[in-house]
Structure 1
Amino acid sequence: MAATDPMLEGADFRTRLQNWLPKIVLAPSFAVMVLFVYGFIAFTIYLSFTGSRMLPSFDLVGWQNYERLFRVRQWDTAIVNLGIFAGLYIVISTIIGLLLAIFLDQKIRGEGILRPIFLYPMALSFIVTGTAWKWILDPAIGLEVTMQQWGFENFQFDWIKDSEMAIYTIVIAAVWQSSGFVMAMFLAGLRGIDNEILKAAQMDGASNFQMYRRIILPQLRPAFLSAFVILSHLAIKSYDLVVAMTDGGPGTSTWLPALFMYEYTFTRNQMGIGAASAVIMLMTIAAIMVPYLYAELREKN
């Protein structure tokens, strides 16, 4: 029987150790993530089927919380507000981001200065953005009183105090923060288009409008899809921006689902209903993310 070479055994051990060492190092972090992310998601789903109020309860009540949820007036308000906010936020941010990207793609002078200026709002937290816009739009200290002091005495802009218009002030602040980020995605897409295709189109007599409509915009489809997914996700889970700007007011006129979930779980001691609203938010995000991830993986395969 041939003797085993100690050097080969040592090399084999080192190879196995190198293969397993990253897994061993990452295992604690992975376990914590599974527990505190997916574990609590599962726990929230379970709570949504229980009679939990101030504290978790393990008495199952079936779909009762979901039935009660859709009878709550504030939930209807939150859903309507989400439709208004998400629709305007996604469309306006996409349009402004695309126009800014097209503007910067013209190889203008000062692009190196303008690009970080446009991106700067995304570096701020939504709390900072909400606080700043709350001051700007406050009729007593912001834009309205400033314009009146400049001589425009009839100028009035009190949307943030108007229950019918306050949700649109949330849209203004959110668009201001996110448009630069959308611009960066579109600019990356524009810079990735093959110039030879554009030169060939120019030689065939295509105008700039025709090139954008028939060549450039269709090739930006991945950027459009990514922008839609990211903005939808941000809209659905919006909480801190609303709290900083209006705290859900006047009254409950600017409640969104995330604020509803917090209020009913931690303020009104209706944990079961709050958990049900959180599950619906999760399912909505999943309905957007899963087809997107499926399409991306299918395209790569």
Structure 2
Amino acid sequence: MRLSAFADRWLPRIVLAPTVIASLVFVYGFIALTGYLSLTASRMMPNYEYAGFGKYIELFDLDRWWVAAANLGVFGLLFIAACLAIGLLLAIFLDQKIRLEGALRAVYLYPMALSFIVTGAAWKWILNPGLGLEKMVRGWGFENFTFDWLIDPDMAIYTVVIAGVWQSSGFVMALFLAGLRGVDDSIIKAAQVDGASLPAIYRRIVIPSLRPVFFSALLILAHIAIKSFDLVMALTAGGPGTSTTVPAVFMYQYAFSRGQLALGAASAMMMLATVLAVLVPMMYLETKGTRHGR
């Protein structure tokens, strides 16, 4: 009996201990190391001599950093808004118990099975004026058709949005569909008995009840947007010029390509600060709403 009680108490802790230790070392430990390196004068190799906040001042003086931050703002806002809108519409469409729902759900979810590298490479071919959409439409006889966003510095960031939305909106759809299937049917039937139309039921009853799903989707999409690196590198490599450079690309270029390890670490810490600036208020609002029964 004592052995059974001992196993019940300590076996779960023993099983979880390696994961906890690995997380402490390889996640939080390396975050702490990156933070310290940002306070040094490290270049090609780490230099552990404390040098103050000079690299942060240097970072904020770089126009390239502010361009990257502005690009992230454009990409993040459009990416999150489009994924939420398309995902919700697709979920409502599939919630109507249509035929071939399983097949359509698989089609919408398929892009999520691909890595962002594959997505970026595929859309690079599709949007390449000499290979993809523009060449195909011109081959149909529309000689004046142009779609050169990929090489247009003013429009290139929107190609990243298109590729990102294509990959992630199906995942958001799955989240919303799960939330819709959890809504009590009796509430909907009662509203129909009272004469409410289907659009009104979704607008006034169903969608407001999906607040936790909106929170989860927004959190995941914000995290994807802030750390976007592989999609940008595969699709545009940050170009033309710096038109699609985002903070993750900036960090990689300065830390590994330009031998400015401390500056790259400072930019990485600013990305972490951005994640926390999004995460903490959202979690506070969600926790506050749950505590008050909303």
- The normalised TM-score by structure 1 is 0.92
Q: Could you tell me which residue of structure 2 aligns to residue 213 of structure 1?
A: 203
Superimposed CA distance per residue, residues 239-273 of structure 1 (whole angstroms, 9 cap, x where no aligned partner): 00000001111122110000001111011111111
Shift in Å, 1:204: 1.5
Instruction: Note if 1:73 corresponds to 2:67.
Output: no
Shift in Å, 1:294: 4.5
Q: Which piece of structure 1 moves more, 199-208 or 260-269? A: 199-208
Q: Distance in 2 between matches of 1:224 and 1:205?
A: 28
**Partner SS for 1:212:** helix
Shift in Å, 1:199: 1.3
Q: Distance in 2 between matches of 1:182 and 1:214?
A: 21
Unaligned 5+ segments in structure 1 are: 1-10
Q: Distance in 2 between matches of 1:253 and 1:199?
A: 51
Instruction: Note if 1:90 corresponds to 2:80.
Output: yes
Q: Could you tell me which residue of structure 2 aligns to residue 290 of structure 1?
A: 280
Q: Could you tell me which residue of structure 2 aligns to residue 55 of structure 1?
A: 45
Q: Distance in 1 between matches of 2:82 and 2:282?
A: 21
Q: Distance in 2 between matches of 1:128 and 1:300?
A: 42
Q: Could you tell me which residue of structure 2 aligns to residue 226 of structure 1?
A: 216
Larger radius of gyration: 1
**Partner SS for 1:220:** helix
Q: Which piece of structure 1 moves more, 162-171 or 15-24? A: 15-24
Superimposed CA distance per residue, residues 21-59 of structure 1 (whole angstroms, 9 cap, x where no aligned partner): 332333233222211111010011111111111111122
Superimposed CA distance per residue, residues 122-163 of structure 1 (whole angstroms, 9 cap, x where no aligned partner): 010000000000000011111111111111111111110111
Which of the residues 123, 128, 153 maps onto 1:163?
153
**Partner SS for 1:238:** coil
Q: Could you tell me which residue of structure 1 aligns to residue 235 of structure 2?
A: 245
**What pairs with 1:1-301 in structure 2 (closer than 5 Å)?**
11-294=1-284, 299=290
Shift in Å, 1:300: 7.2
Superimposed CA distance per residue, residues 41-79 of structure 1 (whole angstroms, 9 cap, x where no aligned partner): 001111111111111112222221111111112111101
Shift in Å, 1:296: 5.3
Shift in Å, 1:217: 1.4
Q: Distance in 2 between matches of 1:21 and 1:197?
A: 44
Counterpart contact for 2:215–2:286, Cα < 8 Å: no
Q: Distance in 1 between matches of 2:62 and 2:9?
A: 55
Shift in Å, 1:213: 1.9
Unaligned 5+ segments in structure 2 are: none
Q: Distance in 2 between matches of 1:87 and 1:63?
A: 30
Count the aligned residue pairs. Answer: 291
Q: Distance in 1 between matches of 2:202 and 2:16?
A: 46
Superimposed CA distance per residue, residues 61-102 of structure 1 (whole angstroms, 9 cap, x where no aligned partner): 222111111111211110110011001001111111111011
**Partner SS for 2:48:** coil
Tell me the C-alpha RMSD between the 2 structures: 1.6
Quickly say closer, same or farther: Cα 1:17–1:215, change in 2 above 3 A: closer
- The normalised TM-score by structure 2 is 0.94
**Partner SS for 2:118:** helix
Quickly say closer, same or farther: Cα 1:241–1:208, change in 2 above 3 A: same
Shift in Å, 1:14: 4.2
Quickly say closer, same or farther: Cα 1:102–1:25, change in 2 above 3 A: closer
> What letter matches 1:181 in structure 2?
F
> What letter matches 2:108 in structure 1?
F
